[in-house]
Amino acid sequence: MTVTENISIALSAIRANLLRTVLTFMIIAFGIMALVGILTSIDSIKASLSNNFASMGSNTFNIIRKGTGMSGGRHGRRRNVGEKISFQEVVDFKDMYTYPAMVSISALGSTGATVKYKKEETNPNVIIYGADDNYLKVAGYELAAGRAFTSVEASNGRNIAIVGHAMLEKLFPNKSEQAILGQTISIRNIHFTIIGILKEKGSTMSFTGDRMVMIPIMSLRKYFGSQTNSYNLSVAVYDPIEIDMAIAEAEGILRQVRNIPLGKESDFAIEKSDGLITFLVENTATIQLAAIFIGLVTLLGAAIGLMNIMLVSVTERTREIGICKSLGATRRNILIQFLTEAVVICQLGGLLGIILGILVGNIVTFALGGAFIVPWAWMALGITLCFAVGLISGLYPALKASALDPIESLRYE
């Protein structure tokens, strides 16, 4: 028999036992949906975070307090938090760092502030961040409207602010971006004039620039200094090829500023944007393996169910098998027919599971503000797994069917 004939016979058998078959391929569908959906979601999250880190550029690195970055406490180890980096230390570093690069000073003031405009106010989850005039360029932020701080404004600590896009609808409904510029917002009854609006950028782990109010670094020291645990340095090298040399010089200068003796480990951390992406990929790989394991466990249950259905089918069709053999069907014909039936059931379930998985995965993608993802690799994995499950589940029933004695089969009632 040809492949087409085998598939046609398999579909006829499926229609004859529709309820049992539907239940089986629904189990397969949910297993594949879990597999493809979770892996697509992970790809979406990874792409979103990678884009955010990559927007900083391959020529950028950050110097932060040890144990407070993404690599702090990795693999379950206890964080070894270093001494905070003081404002005087970052200023001294900026004065002493002569490598051809742009240096920016910044610091976190609060992660739970409430911003008010007249009678409107945000939820108490706004990030207050202090930065100098170089920060937007170094960190990869772009302005949707307005302007950045000047060096004079940053050093004098004027009451001005650049706001993230997420707060605009709440505070300024039905107002254009140009109309928002020049408006006065208040944070803890301190008034700030809006001079710039950031373009939407999305979230990076727990930090989001869309929910941020950026103020001059000296304003942060004035109003939020008691809440500032440490100051950060961001460095953008003009030539990306020289970034490793720039990092080496930066480490040497900051060790000198912090009076760290020779042979002692640095008590600060230096992170590159590509290093953050590598860290992200390493950690999501574990989640991907867990997702594959969950999908395989579900498919194992489906495989057992499918094998049971196929064994029942062999019993119910014993007389049919006897007739086929008496008309000249070989053991090989019977074997291929039952294997084809098992594979067709698995592929139908797998196809439904892939469609549902793509939908579920891309719901997460849209929630993160990402683009539609077609997970070709995971689709191929799902199809391959379904084919393998069909072969494994159908092999024993097919062997049992092909081994039936035609005379005994014809007598079967």
206 versus 143: which is more confidently predicted?
A: 143
Instruction: State the Cα–Cα distance between residues 69 and 62, nearest whole angstrom.
Output: 10
Reported as a pLDDT band with limits 50, 70 and 90, residue 275 is low
State yes or no: pLDDT of 160 exceeds 80.
yes
Model confidence at 58: pLDDT above 80: no
Q: What b/e readout covers 94-112, taking b as 16+ CB neighbours within 10 angstroms?
A: beebebebebbbbbbbbbe
At residue 412, the pLDDT reads 63
Q: Are residues 261 and 353 in the same domain?
A: no
The reply to whether 262 and 287 lie within a common domain is: no
pLDDT greater than 60 at residue 205 = no
Same domain for 389 and 359? yes
Would residue 75 count as lying in a domain?
no
Of 245, 266, 287, the residue at which a domain comes to its end is: 266
155, 29: one domain: no
Specify whether 403 is located in the same domain as 293. yes
Residues 315 and 376 in one domain: yes
- Quote the pLDDT of residue 306: 78
72 domain residue, yes or no? no
69 located within any domain: no
Which pLDDT value is given to residue 215?
Answer: 95
Mean pLDDT for the stretch of residues 320-335: 81
The answer to whether the CB of 342 falls within 8 A of the CB of 393 is: yes
Q: Does any domain span residue 177?
A: yes
* CA-based nearest residue to 6, from 358, 356, 343: 343
Mean pLDDT of the residues in the chain: 82
Q: What is the pLDDT of residue 133?
A: 93
End position of a domain, from candidates 206, 234, 266? 266
Quick one: pLDDT at residue 312?
81
Indicate whether 392 belongs to any domain.
Answer: yes
- Same-domain check for residues 124 and 224: yes
Domain of 101, in residue numbers = 83-266
Residues 405 and 291 in one domain: yes
Q: Within 10 Å of residue 203's Cβ, how many Cβ atoms?
A: 17
The answer to whether the pTM exceeds 0.95 is: no
- Residue 76: what pLDDT? 46
> What is the per-residue pLDDT for 21?
76
Structural domain tally of the chain? Answer: 2
Average pLDDT for 364-377: 74
Tell me which of 266, 287, 319 is where a domain ends.
266
Report pLDDT for 86: 92
Contact 375, 43 (CB under 8 A): yes
Residue 66 included in any domain: no
Same-domain pairing of 184 and 92: yes
Asked if 287 and 402 sit in the same domain, the reply is yes
pLDDT digits (tens, 9 = 90+) for 242-254: 888 999 999 999 9
User: Which segment, 160-174, 278-292, 307-321, is predicted with the most confidence on average?
Assistant: 160-174
Which one has a higher pLDDT value, 51 or 65? 65
DSSP strand pairing (207-208 vs 203-204):
antiparallel
Instruction: Based on the fold, state whether residues 26 and 123 are members of the same structural domain.
Output: no
pLDDT greater than 60 at residue 206: no
| Cα angle: 239, vertex 233, 98; to 5 degrees | 50
206 and 90 in a common domain:
yes
Q: Is the pLDDT of residue 6 over 70?
A: no
Per-residue confidence (pLDDT) for residue 196, from 0 to 100: 94
> Would you place residue 371 in the very low, low, confident or very high pLDDT band (cuts 50, 70, 90)?
low
The answer on pLDDT for 74 being more than 70 is: no
Q: Dump pLDDT digits (tens) for 288-318.
A: 787 778 777 877 877 887 788 888 878 877 8
Q: What is the mean pLDDT of residues 25-31?
A: 81
Q: Please tell me whether residue 113 adopts helix, strand or coil conformation.
A: strand
